[in-house]
Amino acid sequence: MPSRSSRATSARREASPLQAVHSGYFALHGGTAATARIVDAPTRSGTRPTYPADVAQSRLFAALLLDELDELEGLVAAAERRRRRRSAAGSDDPTAASPALANLHEKIADVRRLLDALDARFPQD
């Protein structure tokens, strides 16, 4: 084992065990502090690295979102059928269904935005 330099020894004495240790910032190599190297560091274009676990999790989340989208579209179709039946019976209140349908359409738009964002971040091969 290489001997420690006087700076490393004095720095070790100054550090308290109660101080926070940031192992991601520095690593000790041969008694000197060096910046830790991060594998798959973000590129200058701003994209983050893609890990297999992230891809797998995104696919599971996309499947959940697609199920949610199917359910919401089914609810919209059912609400529109009810509105058509009421209008055929002559007891249609046009203001009653619009807030509920608007809320469902907003949720559908949110789910589609999430799916688009997932596809942009983790494109399917």
Q: Does 77 map to a domain?
A: yes
pLDDT value at 20 more than 70? no
Q: Does 85 map to a domain?
A: yes
Write the pLDDT tens digit of every residue in 73-116: 999 999 889 888 888 888 766 556 678 889 999 999 999 999 99
Lowest-confidence segment of 32-36, 47-51, 66-70, 83-87 by average pLDDT? 32-36
Write the pLDDT tens digit of every residue in 42-65: 444 567 788 899 999 999 999 999
Is the separation of the CB atoms in 122 and 55 below 8 Å? yes
Q: Does 1 map to a domain?
A: no
Q: Which DSSP string do the residues of 82-123 spell out, in sequence order?
A: HHHHHHHHT---HHHHHHHHHHHHHHHHHHHHHHHHHHHHS-
Is this model's pTM higher than 0.85 or not? no
Q: Does 45 map to a domain?
A: no
**Three-class SS state of 60:** helix
Asked if 23 and 76 sit in the same domain, the reply is no
H or E element at residue 8: helix 6-14
**Three-class SS state of 29:** strand
